[in-house]
Chains A and B, each alone.
With several copies, the nearest count.
Chain A
Amino acid sequence: MVTVKFFAQVRELAGAEGVDAPLPHPATVGALREQLMSQSTSFEDALSGNVLMAHNQTLCNGDTEIAVGDEVAFFPPVTGG
């Protein structure tokens, strides 16, 4: 399984702080995102649009490869400071 985390608007739209997901095929962050979006309409709402992705707490893109035990996060553009 892969540990998935949601933050801010993405978390609220998803209705969850995170979820454990099976490794997608191909094993990439982009495929994981597609897999989650097909899982429920709230996940689809949460993950469409301008969403950033992090792999093991480092910003990444859809092509990034993932493995069992990894942590993947989805969140909106940042607004701190």
Chain B
Amino acid sequence: MFARVQHDDFSQQTLYDELCVNAVPQGAGAIVTFTGLVRDFNAKGGIQGIELEYYPGMTESALDTLLQQATSRFDIVEAGIIHRVGKLANHAQIVWVGTASQHREQAFLAATFIMDTLKQSVPIWKKEWQGNQASWVAAKADDSTAAMRWLQSDKDNTCDNA
């Protein structure tokens, strides 16, 4: 498993190959990848790129936990996440998720789960640029604390013992 936060762009081929290094010897027959791209519009009209902020340390740890959760919930043999941060132009690659399984259904489900959970619970914040103004994107989850708490279920939860 691998999870990285980086500013630099990523190569589809390189990440696919990295996933296969562990996946193929474990009998993987199905590889699913998801790539998120910067869209060039929002509800208010055209945008000129985005900017992503993260919490160094906590973000990587949340991604690691997310991969562990996906591995325990689904019958997958390997998974990886790359998330870019910083300023990204329209159409740039933002996030890549890869999953490998012996059976395609599990690979699809695990990749879907990772993306759904990532959007709700990994500490990353997005700004959209319109002209010279950058606006923070509003969160969709009504109860964001509940959404994020999910990530803690496998961990020694010092907070809830307080």
Contacts and interface: CB of A to CB of B under 8 A. Distances in A.
A58 B125 contact: no
A79 B159 CA distance: 23
Given A61-B159, A63-B162, A76 B151 contact: no
A57 B54 CA distance: 12
A54 interface: yes
Could you say which of B57, B115, B159 has the most chain A C-beta atoms within 10 Å of its C-beta? B159
Nearest to A62: B162
A64 B147 CA distance: 18
Contacts, number: 102
Interface in A45-71: 50, 52, 54-61, 63-65
Given A54-B55, A63-B162, A64-B159, 12 more contacts: A7-B53, A8-B125, A55-B158, A55-B159, A75-B55, A76-B139, A78-B120, A78-B124, A78-B125, A79-B138, A80-B126, A81-B118
Which bracket fits the contact residues of B? 35 or more
Nearest to B119: A81
Interface residues of A, number: 27
A42 interface: no
12 contacts: A7-B53, A8-B125, A9-B136, A50-B144, A57-B55, A59-B151, A60-B158, A77-B147, A78-B119, A78-B124, A78-B144, A81-B83
A41 B115 CA distance: 37
A31 B151 CA distance: 25
A25 to B, nearest CB: 15
Nearest to A28: B162
B162 A8 contact: no
B52 A80 contact: yes
A54 B160 CA distance: 12
